Amino acid sequence: MDRRHFIHIGGAAIGAAVVSRASDSEAQEAAAQTGAETPRAKSSVMLAGGQVAVITPNGSTLPLRVVDGVKVGHLVAEVVGHEFAPGLRAECWGWNGSTPGPTIEAIEGDRLRIYVSNRLPEPTTVHWHGVILPNGMDGVAGLTQHAIPPNETYMYEFTVKYPGTFMYHPHYDEMTQIALGMVGMFIVHPKQPIGSKVDHDFALMTHEWRLDVGAKRPDPMEMKDFNLLTFNSKAFPGTEPLVVGRGKRVRIRLGNLGPMDHHPIHLHGLNFKVTATDGGYVPLSAQYPETTVLVPVGSTRVIEFVPEELGDWAMHCHMTHHAMTQMGHGLPPMTGVDSRKLERRMARVEPRFMPMGSTGMGAMSGMDMPVPPNSLPMKGTPGPFGSIDMGGMFTVLKVRENAHTAEPSGWYESPPATRAGKAVAAQMNADGVKAPSPGK
Ligand SMILES: [Cu+2]
């Protein structure tokens, strides 16, 4: 059976499996009957106890086919042509055509049988990060198993005894394979909800890459200077927004299998609690409010919140160099420099010379500068109020009255009276605020 065929029927089978958990899911039933590819998991798909299925923005869920009570899945490790954002592509490594690999979603107590076929040019394995299982299924080449040679298929089989938010990645030539994109989420739902039931459930993996302009593939040798930062292997504006309902309970499962850096992930407009890690659930008595959560390399952090304010809320890594585009790296610092002399001299040899960033770098985002092929421009992304100059590990949490009817690409229109704008002189006078005289 070839891979396409397997995944095709696998798609039908997960439809059937989901139906068995939720008899009211007509769309899934229809998909199972027609043998159609499973539609991307929607949060309306209910698991036991009213839990919702996980959405992997820009990603997918691994189809699982039930055979004699065992849930069977198939991961194919392979080279993947990947687009980070419109205009930036590279050759990466992943599974089943994507980086990150498809999210594995199971239920506490499930018996899983995962086939791993290797179509990479070198051996590989899969390690199930955080899952407690028999040692021989742990996927560490040399230590617990032979590495899977190219063009061979290995079988992993184990029971997921504990619920939680885990991950998967190779444990052979980790430095290369992980750097090229071989990371994935592995979510085990509890049989019954633990803590409050949520209405939206998302999985996001942070990652970092070194992709030089003009390079065909990321550089796995890099250990410090990463120039491309992503959520689910997408750089903003390639990241799909997270659309949620006001007053609804939201869970975001953050995973970090990046090579070197921990990421402080910050959310605007709300506060949240860390409810679980890849080690298990955090007791209620130990949860405290945060607006930024550090997601260390090799960890998951699960956050939950109920947004009360409508809007387009930024969600990003708070390391400033992790929320910018590829072109912002490696330039000389020019802020505060009088560039006029330099400009006159340079004009003799290069009439198009433009001194960059002598008043700061913000204006770069509004300039329509030509960029080399296959690179992300510095001009930013058009937003409702000009250019959004962040990029990289950045996405938008869109809080709407009705998440199911909201247009994901639409912007929030804040009432003008609730929006920052130019100050009125009369009011400044009344408030005793004097505008400073313009600087030289
Ligand atoms: Cu970061």
Q: How many angstroms is it from 256 CA to the middle of ligand 1?
A: 10
338-344: average pLDDT: 67
Q: How many angstroms is it from 316 CA to the middle of ligand 1?
A: 8
Q: How many angstroms is it from 296 CA to the middle of ligand 1?
A: 10
Q: With a cut of 50, say whether residue 158 has pLDDT above it.
A: yes
Q: How many angstroms is it from 321 CA to the middle of ligand 1?
A: 8
Q: Provide the Cα torsion 339, 341, 345, 350; round to 10°.
A: 20
Partners of 72 in beta bridges: 65, 113
Q: How many angstroms is it from 390 CA to the middle of ligand 1?
A: 13
Q: With a cut of 90, say whether residue 376 has pLDDT above it.
A: no
Tell me the per-residue pLDDT of 88-137, one tens digit each, with 9 for 90 and over: 999 999 999 999 999 999 999 999 999 999 999 999 999 999 999 999 99
Q: How many angstroms is it from 392 CA to the middle of ligand 1?
A: 9
Q: How many angstroms is it from 121 CA to the middle of ligand 1?
A: 31
Residue 268 contacts residue 307 (beta carbons within 8 Å): no
Q: How many angstroms is it from 426 CA to the middle of ligand 1?
A: 43
Would residue 3 count as lying in a domain? Answer: yes
Q: How many angstroms is it from 315 CA to the middle of ligand 1?
A: 12
Comparing C-alpha atoms, which of 185, 153, 143, 157 is closest to residue 78?
Answer: 153
* Domain count within the chain: 1
Q: How many angstroms is it from 272 CA to the middle of ligand 1?
A: 19
Would residue 27 count as lying in a domain? Answer: yes
Would residue 355 count as lying in a domain? Answer: no
Q: How many angstroms is it from 295 CA to the middle of ligand 1?
A: 9
Q: How many angstroms is it from 210 CA to the middle of ligand 1?
A: 14
Q: How many angstroms is it from 266 CA to the middle of ligand 1?
A: 10
Task: Report the pLDDT value the prediction gives residue 329, as an integer from 0 to 100.
Answer: 58
Q: How many angstroms is it from 326 CA to the middle of ligand 1?
A: 14
Tell me the per-residue pLDDT of 324-333, one tens digit each, with 9 for 90 and over: 876 555 555 6
Selected residue with higher pLDDT from 201 and 439: 201
pTM, entire model: 0.84
Q: How many angstroms is it from 439 CA to the middle of ligand 1?
A: 35
Q: Rounded to an integer, what distance in angstroms lies between the CA atom of residue 288 and that of residue 23? A: 37
48 band by pLDDT with thresholds 50, 70 and 90: confident
Would residue 119 count as lying in a domain? Answer: no
Task: Report the pLDDT value the prediction gives residue 36, as an integer from 0 to 100.
Answer: 34
Tell me the per-residue pLDDT of 395-413, one tens digit each, with 9 for 90 and over: 999 999 999 999 999 999 9
Q: How many angstroms is it from 300 CA to the middle of ligand 1?
A: 14
Counting Cβ atoms within 10 Å, is residue 323 exposed (0-12), middle (13-18) or buried (19+)?
Answer: buried
Q: Rounded to an integer, what distance in angstroms lies between the CA atom of residue 353 and that of residue 350? A: 5
Q: How many angstroms is it from 262 CA to the middle of ligand 1?
A: 6
| 14: containing domain | 1-39
Would residue 339 count as lying in a domain? Answer: no
Residue 282 contacts residue 344 (beta carbons within 8 Å): no
Q: How many angstroms is it from 319 CA to the middle of ligand 1?
A: 5
Q: How many angstroms is it from 209 CA to the middle of ligand 1?
A: 12
Comparing C-alpha atoms, which of 202, 203, 180, 175 is closest to residue 84?
Answer: 180
Number of Cβ within a 10 Å radius of residue 350 = 9
Task: Report the pLDDT value the prediction gives residue 375, as an integer from 0 to 100.
Answer: 79
Give the distance, in angstroms, between the CA of residue 75 and the centroid of all CA atoms in the same chain: 20
Q: How many angstroms is it from 276 CA to the middle of ligand 1?
A: 20
DSSP 8-state symbol, 108: T
Residue 318 contacts residue 292 (beta carbons within 8 Å): yes
Tell me the per-residue pLDDT of 302-312, one tens digit each, with 9 for 90 and over: 999 999 999 99
Quote the radius of gyration of the chain (alpha carbons, Å). Answer: 24
363 band by pLDDT with thresholds 50, 70 and 90: low
Would residue 33 count as lying in a domain? Answer: yes
Q: How many angstroms is it from 430 CA to the middle of ligand 1?
A: 44
